[in-house]
Amino acid sequence: AQKITQTQPGMFVQEKEAVTLDCTYDTSDQSYGLFWYKQPSSGEMIFLIYQGSYDEQNATEGRYSLNFQKARKSANLVISASQLGDSAMYFCAMRQYGSARQLTFGSGTQLTVLP
């Protein structure tokens, strides 16, 4: 069974600073994908970044980067140069390769960017 753990219920960051949101996962599979989603107060889940278990390079998408440490089973999201619009709930999720198509989500981290 898969499990995603996000240990930071809430985080604060000053505008223009960088912030790291933690995510650890548990799986016995060798092939899997890790995702980060942003959920603003409007409720829609917005895909941010993806990391495959066999990818050797850490994924980057604009101001988002994923610090992937496979041996530690961690996939932390780094947001650089935080903006007020980054204030939202952030979810880490995992998907296994094979028959299981669904995403397994963590409990989320509420990020607040301070002006």
> Which of 60, 69, 107, 112: binder of other proteins (CB under 8 A)?
107
Quick one: which segment of 10-18, 19-27, 75-83, 90-98 binds other proteins (CB under 8 A)? 90-98
Q: How far is the CB of 70 from other proteins (least distance, A)?
A: 14
CA distance 105 to 35: 9
47's CB contacts (< 8 A; 6+ apart) are: 35, 36, 37
42's CB contacts (< 8 A; 6+ apart) are: none
Quick one: which segment of 15-23, 66-74, 79-87, 88-96 binds other proteins (CB under 8 A)? 88-96
> Which of 30, 44, 71, 115: binder of other proteins (CB under 8 A)?
44
State the CB neighbour count (10 A cutoff) for residue 45. Answer: 15
